[in-house]
Structure 1
C-alpha cells in the first residue's frame, strides 16, 4: 500500500466512522456540502424506510414545491427540535410548508418555517444501512477501530521491516563494493611491484652483461 493509498483509506475510514457515529446519536453529518442523517421512523415508507441513511442538501427554500421531500427541525411539541423528514404537500401563501409522511394518514399538525429547514432530500446511502444492520456498538468498535488499527500496525511493521532489509542490503552492497575496490587496489599495487622488480632484474642483468663485455 502506497502513502497515497494509506491516506485515502484513512480518509474514507474517518468519513465512514463520522457518519455512523452521527447516525447512532441522532445528529446530521456534514460532508462536502451535503448532510447525512439516519431515518429513525417509518413515517415515509415505502419511499424511505426506518434505518435508511439519506443525504440532503441545503437549498433555496423559495424553489421548494409540493412533492419535494425535506428534512427539518420539527416544531411539534411532541418531537420539538428533533429532525423530521417528510414530503411537502402544500406551500402556503405565508411561505410556510405543510408536510406529511407518506405512510401517515393525516398531514403534520404544525407547518414548517423556512428557517427550520435543513435541506432537500436527494437520495439514500445504502452502504451505511448495510453496516448499521449488524453493527452494535461493540461491532462498530471492532469494525472501525480495532481491525483498522491492527491492519495499520501490521502495515507499519511490514514497512519498517522492508526498510531495515533494504538498509541492510544497501550496507552489504556497499561493503562488498569497498572490498572489491580494496582487492583491486592490492592487485594493482602487487602488479606495479612485480613490474618494478622485473625492471630492476632486467637492469641488473644488462649491467652484468656489460661488465663481462668490458672484461673481454
Structure 2
C-alpha cells in the first residue's frame, strides 16, 4: 500500500514538473515567434525574453544568449545601463537591439540615449528616443552558443512550439480518458453493490415470507387438532 502511494506521488510530481516545463517552453518559443513575425517584443508581467544573436555586447552578453529584460521608465535610466530598444539604424530596420547607454544628450528639447555595444569601438550612429526603449537588461538566462542559432530558423521554432503543445494536449486526453474510465468503473462497482444489496434484501424477504407461511400452517394444524 505504501509503495503504491509512493508511486502515485512520484508520478504526480513528475507530471506537474513536466507540465510546468512544457508551459515555460511554449511561452518562450511563442515569445520568439511573436517577435519574429511582428518585430515587437511581448511582455509578461513587465518582463520579456530576448535572444541576442550578435556579439556586440560580449563578454557581458555572449552571442546566442537569452536575456531577461524589464520594462522601465526611461527617466530612471542612467549612463552605464544596458537597454533593449527599437533601433533607428537602417541596417537593423527597426528591429530590437541591446546596447549600453554611453551618453544622454538633448536634441530639440528632448532627451536621447547615445548607445554603444561593449565590443564595438564607437557609439551607435543613431540615438535612441525614450519611446523606443523596450526595457532594461536584468540578467542572462542561458547561453546556447551555436545551438541558439536554431531559434533563428522559423521552421524549427514552429516545431518547438507545436511539439510541446501536442504533448500537453495528448497528456490531457490520456488523463481525461483515465478519469472517465475510473468513473465508469466506480459506477459499475456501485451498481453491482446495489444489485447485491437488493438480492440480499429479496432473499431475506423470501425467507421471512417462508417463515410466516410455515408459522401460519402450524397454527392451522394446531386449530384443526383442537
Question: What range describes the TM-score normalised by the shorter chain of this pair?
Answer: 0.7 to 0.9
Q: Confirm or deny: 8 A CA contact 1:53 1:124 kept in the other structure.
A: yes
Q: For the structure 1 residues 161 and 113, does the alpha-carbon distance in structure 2 shift closer, same or farther, using more than 3 Å as the test?
A: closer
Following superposition, the deviation at residue 122 of structure 1 comes to 1.2
Corresponding position: 1:54 with 2:54: no
Q: For the structure 1 residues 102 and 155, does the alpha-carbon distance in structure 2 shift closer, same or farther, using more than 3 Å as the test?
A: same
Q: Confirm or deny: 8 A CA contact 1:23 1:38 kept in the other structure.
A: no
Corresponding position: 1:17 with 2:29: yes
Quick one: distance in 1 between partners of 2:148 and 2:123?
30
**Of 30, 45, 53, the match for 2:43:** 30
Following superposition, the deviation at residue 91 of structure 1 comes to 1.6
Q: Confirm or deny: 8 A CA contact 2:69 2:138 kept in the other structure.
A: yes
**Of 73, 82, 89, the match for 1:69:** 82
Q: Which moved more, 1:70-79 or 1:135-144?
A: 135-144
The number of aligned residues is: 208
Q: For the structure 1 residues 202 and 115, does the alpha-carbon distance in structure 2 shift closer, same or farther, using more than 3 Å as the test?
A: closer
**TM-score normalised over the length of structure 2:** 0.73
**TM-score normalised over the length of structure 1:** 0.76
Q: For the structure 1 residues 14 and 130, does the alpha-carbon distance in structure 2 shift closer, same or farther, using more than 3 Å as the test?
A: farther
Q: Confirm or deny: 8 A CA contact 1:53 1:129 kept in the other structure.
A: no
| Structure-2 residue corresponding to 1:214 | none
Following superposition, the deviation at residue 86 of structure 1 comes to 0.8
Quick one: distance in 1 between partners of 2:71 and 2:205?
82
| Structure-2 residue corresponding to 1:101 | 117
Q: Which runs of 5+ in 2 are unaligned?
A: 1-11
Following superposition, the deviation at residue 43 of structure 1 comes to 0.6
Q: Confirm or deny: 8 A CA contact 1:73 1:81 kept in the other structure.
A: yes
Q: Alignment partner of 1:49: what SS?
A: coil
Q: Which runs of 4+ in 1 moved over 6 A?
A: 127-131
Query: Relative contact order, CA 8 A, sep 6+: which one is greater?
Result: 2
Q: Alignment partner of 2:128: what SS?
A: coil
Q: For the structure 1 residues 140 and 172, does the alpha-carbon distance in structure 2 shift closer, same or farther, using more than 3 Å as the test?
A: same
Specify the structure having the higher radius of gyration (Cα). Answer: 1
Following superposition, the deviation at residue 67 of structure 1 comes to 0.5
Quick one: distance in 2 between partners of 1:7 and 1:48?
30
Q: Confirm or deny: 8 A CA contact 2:80 2:100 kept in the other structure.
A: yes
Q: For the structure 1 residues 112 and 138, does the alpha-carbon distance in structure 2 shift closer, same or farther, using more than 3 Å as the test?
A: closer
Q: Confirm or deny: 8 A CA contact 1:90 1:99 kept in the other structure.
A: yes
| Root mean square deviation, CA, Å | 3.3
Q: Confirm or deny: 8 A CA contact 1:22 1:37 kept in the other structure.
A: no
